[in-house]
Each structure stands twice: as C-alpha cells, then as structure tokens.
C-alpha cells in the first residue's frame, strides 16, 4: 500500500489517522534516497576499480572495510538553528555516511563520513555547525569513498 500525504478531506469526513501520515511519507522518501545513495556508491566504487559486496544496507569494499548510508532529515525547531535527525539505527559498519537532506530538496546538501573508530556511538542529531571532529568529516560529495577505497587497496598491496 502506497503512502499518501494527508489531505484536507480527512477531517471533513471525520477521519483522524492514528499517526500523522506525513511522517510515513517522509520516511518513505528518506528510504528512497538511502537506496539511491547506496546504489550510487556501489556504481562509483566499482567504476573506481573496487569489488563491492552488498548485504542489505551494508557494503563490503574490497573485502577490507564496510560502509552504510543514512539519510537524515532536516528540521528547524522554532527559535533554533537547523538540525538533522537520524531516526533509524545505523548498520554496524566501519563507516557510516550521513547524507543531510531537507524534504523537497533535489539531493543531499553534504555528507558526513564518520568512521566507527572515532564514533563508538553514532550521533542522533547533526547541526548546522558541529564540533571540530564532526566538521572534519564533512564532504561535499561521495568522492571521498573512491579515495578511501583506492588508499585501502594500495595499503593492502604493501602489507600483503
């Protein structure tokens, strides 16, 4: 069953949904973007020469490291700066990429590529301005993943 945006007709016919259908619609929209980012990353990594295995939302790159994607939705509580919330539990991977997006945008604004070694617990909220550790992990594109893959392949060749 497809989710639909709430309509003005609902109260006119006496229907009050148990949950706000707008949240379900936005969640479906975020899942679409999550799938899109995951598929894009697979294509880009493979184009860069990596071997990528996908298991659900988890990608294993060159049998060396794992990555998954979360798309976080922006909201602006009254009187506060923009915040992006993560409402889902990220996968247990070496890296989680958080793509920041506001409903209606045509794509993510930027990406936070957070290594698990620096973040034993993933943040539930990212702000317009964050501390230096999180800001140091902000990238305008997913090109950083190709760079990481290329470096990990070179390192494994030197060590192995």
What is the share, in percent, of the chain residues with pLDDT greater than 70?
A: 74
Instruction: Looking at mean pLDDT, say which of 19-33, 48-62, 109-123 comes out highest.
Output: 48-62
Pairing verdict, β 110-115 and 125-127: unpaired
Q: Is the model's pLDDT at 45 over the cut of 70?
A: yes
Q: What is the pLDDT of residue 46?
A: 96
The answer for residues whose C-beta is within 8 angstroms of residue 47's C-beta and 6 or more apart is none
Rounded Cα distance between 145 and 95, Å, is 10
pLDDT (average), residues 63-72:
93
pTM (2 d.p.): 0.77
**In the prediction, which pLDDT does 1 show?**
40
């Amino acid at each position: 069953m497809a989710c639909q945006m709430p309509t003005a007709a609902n109260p006119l016919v006496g229907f009050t949904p148990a949950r706000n259908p707008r949240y379900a619609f936005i969640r479906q929209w975020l899942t679409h973007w999550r799938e899109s980012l995951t598929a894009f990353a697979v294509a880009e990594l493979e184009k860069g020469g990596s071997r990528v295995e996908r298991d659900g939302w988890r990608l294993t790159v060159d049998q060396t490291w794992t990555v998954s994607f979360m798309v976080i939705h922006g909201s602006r509580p009254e009187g506060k700066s923009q915040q992006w919330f993560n409402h889902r539990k990220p996968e247990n991977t070496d890296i989680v990429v958080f793509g920041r997006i506001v409903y209606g945008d045509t794509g993510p604004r930027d990406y936070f590529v957070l290594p698990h070694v620096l973040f034993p617990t993933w943040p539930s909220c990212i702000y317009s301005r964050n501390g230096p550790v999180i800001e140091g992990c902000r990238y305008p594109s997913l090109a950083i993943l190709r760079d990481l893959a290329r470096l990990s392949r070179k390192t494994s060749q030197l060590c192995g």
